[in-house]
Every structure is written in C-alpha cells, then in structure tokens.
Amino acid sequence: MQRIYSILTLAKFTSTYFIFVGILIAIIAVLPIIFPEQQLFIKNFWIVFGFMAGITYIAYMLVDIGIKRDPEVGIMAIMGSIAVKMIFCMAFVLVYSIKAKGNGLLFVLNFFSVYFLFTAFEIYCLLRNLRHQNLK
C-alpha cells in the first residue's frame, strides 16, 4: 500500500503550529490546578514559552525558505536554523540567569522541557517535508 504525503506549506505549518501552541498553553494552564501544592513553573515562565515559540517559528521559516530556493542546499538550511536557534537559546539562558534570581533547577527543567517539545514539533514538520521530497 502506497501512502501519499502532502507537503507542509508555510500556511499549513502556521495553522498546525498555532494548534500545537494552543494545546501546550491548555496543558500548562491545567497543570497547576492538578498539582496545587507543587511549584511547577518559574515566575516568568511565559517569557520563556513565548521566546521558544517565536524562535521555533522563525527557525522553521528559515528552513522553509532555504528548501524552496534550492532543495539541494536544504540540509544546510536545516543545520543553519538549528545553529541559529541554539545560539539564541544559549544567549537567552545567559541573559535570563543574570537577570533573574531563583530556583535554577526549576528554570532548567522548564526551559528544556519547552525546548524539547518545540524542537520535536519542528523536526516532525521538517521530516514531513523531506519525506515528500523523497517520494518525488
């Protein structure tokens, strides 16, 4: 049986991305209600969340532009977007750790859980596009 995969255009990615972000926001809003006695999130969690949401969307747009311009250089676009995302995330962690004083372990857990969730979503979407290119 042959499966047909549709390419994930930027408009489809954007709508899927907003659904994903909405689901994450709903889960994050419900967790303190389920565990009221635990401090699950840092004081400025929504800044971290917004930063990761924004940088992930920008990184995907860079890859999408790179793949559309020259599919042969698509891997370089992917690697470049990963490097840009990582550099901006390291800068964010540095600035945040200098400015905010608080529970460092909780910040690390919050930051990396959000980082991995957004990165997993981005990789899933990139693999959908690359799978479509392999079927051509």
Tell whether the model's pLDDT for residue 1 goes beyond 50: no
Using CA atoms, how far residue 43 sits from 46, 59, 116, 124, in Å, is 8, 26, 20, 30
pLDDT digits (tens, 9 = 90+) for 71-120: 777 788 888 888 889 999 999 999 988 888 777 889 999 999 999 999 99
DSSP 38: S
3-state secondary structure of 71: helix
| Long-range CB contacts for residues 73-77, cutoff 8 Å, separation at least 24 | 74/130, 74/133
CA 63, 79, 18 angle in degrees (round to 5)? 40
pTM of the model: 0.84
CB 114 within 8 A of CB 52: yes
